[in-house]
Structure 1
Amino acid sequence: MVRQVRLGRWYLVAVGLIALTLLAALAMLGIERAVRVNALAETRAEATSQAAILAAGLESELNKFSLVPRVLAVDPEVAALLGGQSAGREVLNLRLAALAGQTNAAAIYLMDARGLTLASSNWDRPDSFIGSNYGFREYFSGASKRGTASEFALGTVSRRPGLYLAERVGPASAPLGVVAVKVEFDSLERKWRDAEDGVFVTDAGGIVLLASNPGWRFRTAEGSGANGQAVDPERNARRFGVAQPKRFDLPATGDASSPLRMIEKIQPIAPVGWELHLLADPAPRLSVALANGRLAGVIALALLGLAGAGAYLWQRQRQSRAGAQVAAQTALLREQLQQANRLATLGQITAGLGHEIRQPLAAMRVYAENGERLLAADRQTEAAANFDKIAQLAGRIGEITAEQLHFSRRSPEEPREIRLAEVIDGSLLLLRDQIRQKGLTLDRPAADLAATTVRARHVQLEQVLVNLLQNAVQACGEGGQIALAIAAEGNTVRLSVSDDGAGVPAELRETLFQPFVTSKSEGIGLGLAISHDIMRQLGGDLVHEATAAGARFTMVMPAA
């Protein structure tokens, strides 16, 4: 029944632990989902704000450069050179070079009505535009017709990509030429590369023109108007150097086992019909948020665990205090039971002790009466001998009574080193009369073995030996034999009490040291149980050993 209760209790504990584990797992999943949603929302909001800032900066840059060709288109020196006054060419070249340096333009140049370059800011460099004809460029034809035009393309000389802003010189009916500014965005792309996760700009057809990653340029962005198909392969090859632009897919981020999609925010660029795409990587913010969320969850679980542990420890302390009280009460009851056993044993041998005392008293009376007569007869030497015998007999009575008091006292003595001879002598002093009345023969250990020391409590050790000797006396018949033997084995000492009586019945050997087990009709079966308990308390044991005849009980004790 007790085992079933314990199993049921452990079953409930296991179910409770499993339930708590599931609740903790669900709580962690809920926390992770919440922080994930919050982190992604924060990343989107920050990406939207940053995209607007970058788009505004790019628009400002384009607006600044768009003013340059407009101003030059109405400049008198430009008109004069286009009108055939070549004398001002060198001065105009210098002005264009200075203006390009001030505005950070890649090139500023002037073309006549056929597209032939007459003046350029790079007039003195090997890649000078002077003499090159750009009549085939869309920005040239567009500006000639509409007055202003723009085109993003690779340079025919430098092969570097840039935006060409063009303005017509003269009226539409009779154009004199076109002024163009080439803007390159290398520095801007480097800033994007250093500061952002990913930025690219697409034109109206979805072609990537500018990018923080050079490998993305001139690809067709996902979801663009061109849908990844080239409208005019020849035109694309001329502008971008690629007849069929490859598809551009947004890069993934995060762990390879569970990649995340980059968050994309798009902002229009007003002057030229472009779109700026900002890619935000949610992985860093998400990992930090998840780590913080998990940490918060672990801290919460730890606090709950500490609270549970505190409650458990408090309960254990209560149980420990209750257990200590029970142990103290048990120890008190054990000591009381041992005391009662000693007194009961002493009661059984009291008659013999009375006989031990009566004989010396009678002898003392005789020696005293004889001593008086010897003194009266002036035989002082003989009288003194009688008085000496009286003193010896009085000492004998003192030893007996002292051993009685020693055996019956209730003393909380600590274990100490004890010679076994002391224990044997004290026990035999209490039982000598019973041994003599039955005519028993007692074999004692040799003096050197009796001097063996053990670590124990004297009163308890003597109580066990008296019980064993008394059982042996009762088991022996008239003229029987009792033997005491001592053997030292390593760290233990064995003191055996053997008799030639009837021995222990076979049916009692398994339960011999249990309370209320006895083969005596007048016994209650507590002597051996108490003796066994005492020896266990002393760090030893009490065992019954099989013999061919009689019985043998051995006290096992720790050596000193």
Structure 2
Amino acid sequence: MLREAVARLRNGRWLVVVVALALLAGAIAIAGRIASGQAADNLRDTALAALPLAAGTLTGEIEKQRLVPLVLARDDAVRGALRRAGKMEEKALNDKLKAIAGDASASAIYVIDTAGIAISASNAGEPTSFVGIDYNFRHYFREAMTDGGASQYGLGTISGRPGLYLSSRVDDNGKPLGVAVLKVELDGVEANWRSSGFLVFVTDEHGVVLATSQPEWRFHALAPLSAEDAAAAHDQLQLADAGFEPLPIRRGAGDGLATIDSDGKPRQFVEVVQDLPGAVPGWRLWLLTPADAALSSAANTARLTTLLGLLLTGLLAYVLTRRRRARRLRQEALARMNAELESRVSTRTAELTRSNTALAGEIAERENAEAKVRRLRDDLAQAN
């Protein structure tokens, strides 16, 4: 029986230890998750604050460049060249376009007639000159001829370099003469994004990456494209060889976190996004800020703080329990001493009572004897 009781007591103690350790581990894990969530929220606030600046860098550049073809569409020299329709070399206009391109930091500026042939360009005379090239197939030409203006992101026919084409139709008393086009390669914008420490990129309406701080991501897609979307993206961008492979990004379940697999090493980022209606219809700007270090630091700090707090709480509880036990033991010892003292007093009192009773009896007997002696004496005296 005693052994069974001791075994049950030991098992109960081990159960308490196991439960306490489980609660400790759970509290530490919860504290880490809460701290990581708070750190992610702080990073998201930082990213949201940086988002307008990244967007403004792009939209500001586009708006600045967009003015150039609008102004050229109303320029008399451009109209005159288009009226001549390539009947003579437009050296003066070529020089003018070259100067404007330099001032505007544009990659190229050129003028296209109604047949789609470039009759003048800022790079005229260079090996990569656009003069004489047929751009009738380009959307920015066809849409500008129809709608008055257009924009298109794509690769250069001659240079093979990516850029944004901005076009404006040139009219003469309501009659279309041709189209003025400016190409901006957005290298400066992308360099600005890279220097910010964030990952920044722009996607079109199909989710295809265009301008980006990560050049290797260009013409990749946010997610696998359906055959229909891929065909539409090919047509819009006029890219024959693009496969639109998905980006190496995995997104969480609505927590705003994205994981990028790079060289087999997954890294976490906080992701925010903003529409860019002021740039090109359908464009969206994505900004990702590295999160691994901040999330790990916050979680580890919270876990350590929780562990120390729980250990201190446990130590305090242990000390208080020991004190209460010591006080209880002292009280029990004092109670035993009092009980023993009371028992001894009771015993001594009883002994004294018995002694007093016996003494009183002896005294009474003596007094009786003495009384008898006195009576005998009196009787003897009377007899004599």
The residue number in structure 2 matching 1:18 is: 18
Instruction: Determine the structure 2 residue equivalent to 1:63.
Output: 63
Report percent identity of matched pairs: 34
The code of the aligned residue for 1:165 comes to L
Assess if the C-alpha contact under 8 Å between 1:83 and 1:176 holds in 2: yes
Deviation (angstroms), 1:111: 1.9
Q: Deviations over 1:218-264 (max 9, x none)?
A: 2333287987532375x36x722426533445252489999677544
Note if contact 1:204-1:225 (Cα within 8 Å) is conserved in structure 2.
no
1:523-547 Cα shifts (integer Å, max 9, x gaps): xxxxxxxxxxxxxxxxxxxxxxxxx
Range 78-87 or range 142-151, more displaced: 78-87
- Is the partner of 1:240 in helix, strand or coil? coil
Match of 2:93 in 1: 92
1:221 to 1:14, Cα distance in 2 relative to 1, 3 A: closer
Q: Paired residue for 2:36?
A: 36
Q: In 2, are the aligned partners of 1:228 and 1:247 still within 8 Å (CA)?
A: no
1:279 matched to 2:288:
yes
- Are 1:69 and 1:165, in contact at CA under 8 Å, matched by a contact in 2? yes
* 8 A Cα contact 2:82 2:178, kept in partner: yes
Give me the whole-angstrom Cα distance separating, in 1, the residues matched to 2:96 and 2:316.
Answer: 82
What is the 5 A alignment of 1:165-314? 165-171=166-172, 174-222=175-223, 228-231=229-232, 235=235, 239-242=238-241, 244-248=243-247, 250-251=249-250, 252-253=259-260, 262-270=269-277, 271-273=279-281, 274-307=283-316
- 1:325 aligned partner: none
Name the TM-score, length of structure 2 as normaliser: 0.70
User: Could you tell me whether the CA contact under 8 Å between 2:141 and 2:167 is conserved in 1?
Assistant: yes
Preserved contact between residue 248 and residue 261 of structure 2 (Cα < 8 Å): no
Shift of 1:290: 0.6
Q: What SS does the corresponding residue of 1:176 show, helix, strand or coil?
A: strand
Q: Is the 8 A contact 1:206 1:226 kept in 2?
A: no
Contact 1:220 1:228 in 2 (8 A): no
Question: 4+ runs of 1 displaced by more than 4 Å?
Answer: 1-13, 85-88, 223-228, 253-263, 308-318
Residue in 2 aligned with 1:120? Answer: 121
1:368-517 matches, within 5 Å, as none
Q: What is the DSSP-based 3-state SS (H/G/I as helix, E as strand, rest coil) of the residue aligned with 1:222? A: coil
Amino acid at match of 2:297: V
Q: CA deviation at 1:168?
A: 1.1
How far residue 59 of structure 1 moved from its aligned partner, in angstroms, is 1.5
Give the structure 2 partner of residue 556 of structure 1.
none
Give the letter aligned to residue 239 of structure 1: Q
Write the letter of the residue equivalent to 1:293.
A
Per the alignment, residue 141 of structure 1 pairs with 142
Label 1:307 to 1:212 Cα distance change in 2 as closer, same or farther (>3 A). Answer: same
Q: Secondary structure at the match of 1:30?
A: helix
- SS of 2:310's equivalent in the other structure is helix
Please give the alpha-carbon distance, in whole angstroms, between the structure 2 residues aligned to 1:100 and 1:46. 36
Distance in 2 (CA, whole Å) between partners of 1:257 and 1:138 is: 40
> In the aligned structure 2, how far is the partner of 1:113 from the partner of 1:286?
58
Instruction: Report the number of matched residues.
Output: 318
Helix, strand or coil for the counterpart of 2:175? coil
Q: 2 CA distance for matches of 1:256 and 1:36?
A: 25
The AA in structure 1 aligned to 2:81 is L
Per-residue deviation, 1:74: 0.8
Helix, strand or coil for the counterpart of 2:249? coil
- In 2, the alpha carbon distance for the partners of 1:296 and 1:108 equals 62
Q: Which amino acid aligns with 2:288?
A: L
Question: How far does the alpha carbon of each residue in 1:487-531 deviate from its partner, in whole angstroms, 9 at most, with x for none?
Answer: xxxxxxxxxxxxxxxxxxxxxxxxxxxxxxxxxxxxxxxxxxxxx
Distance 1:47 1:183 in 2: 27
Distance change (3 Å), C-alpha of 1:315 and 1:3: farther
Aligned 8 A contact 1:113 1:178 in 2: yes
Q: Is the 8 A contact 2:169 2:178 kept in 1?
A: yes
**Bigger radius of gyration, 1 or 2?**
1
TM-score (norm. length: structure 1): 0.50
Distance 2:262 2:87 in 1: 65
Change over 3 Å in CA distance of 1:41–1:294 after alignment to 2: same
Deviation of the 1:215 alpha carbon: 2.5
256-265 or 187-196, larger mean C-alpha shift:
256-265
Aligned pairs for 1:302-381 within 5 A: 302-307=311-316
Q: Is the 8 A contact 2:118 2:131 kept in 1?
A: yes
What amino acid is aligned across from residue 21 of structure 1 in structure 2? L
- Tell me the C-alpha RMSD between the 2 structures: 3.8
CA distance in structure 1 between the partners assigned to 2:308 and 2:218 by the alignment: 48
Answer whether contact 2:202 2:210 (CA < 8 A) is retained. yes
| Partner SS, residue 139 of structure 1 | helix
> Is the CA contact 1:228–1:246 (under 8 Å) kept in the aligned structure 2?
no
Q: What displacement does 1:150 show?
A: 1.2
Aligned to 1:51: 51
2:29 maps to amino acid:
L
Is the 1:206–1:225 Cα contact (8 Å) retained in structure 2? no
How far apart in 1 are the matches of 2:308 and 2:228? Answer: 51
**Alpha carbons 2:224, 2:246 under 8 Å: kept:** no
Which amino acid in structure 2 is aligned with residue 285 of structure 1? A
CA distance in 2, matches of 1:254, 1:113: 48
For residues 89 and 313 of structure 1, the distance between their equivalents in structure 2, rounded to whole angstroms, comes to 101
CA distance in 1, matches of 2:305, 2:181: 61
SS in 2 for 1:45: helix
Alignment correspondent of 1:337? none
Secondary structure in 1 aligned to 2:288? strand
Relative to structure 1, the CA distance from residue 173 to residue 255 in structure 2 (aligned partners, 3 Å threshold; closer, same or farther) is closer
Contact kept in structure 2, 1:44 and 1:263, CA below 8 Å: yes
Matched to 2:156, the amino acid is G
Aligned residues of 1:218 and 1:242 also touching (Cα < 8 A)? no
User: Taking CA–CA contacts closer than 8 Å with sequence separation of 6 or more, which of the two structures ends up with the larger relative contact order?
Assistant: 2
Q: Distance in 2 between matches of 1:182 and 1:227?
A: 28
Aligned in 2, Cα 1:226/1:285: closer, same or farther, shift over 3 Å? farther
Deviations 1:111-166 (A, max 9, x none): 22222222222224321212222122111111112111111111111000111101
Asked if 1 retains the 8 angstrom alpha-carbon contact of 2:200 and 2:288, the reply is yes
Q: Given residue 170 of structure 2, which amino acid in structure 1 is its aligned partner?
A: V
Q: Distance in 2 between matches of 1:203 and 1:292?
A: 41
Residue equivalent to 2:161:
160
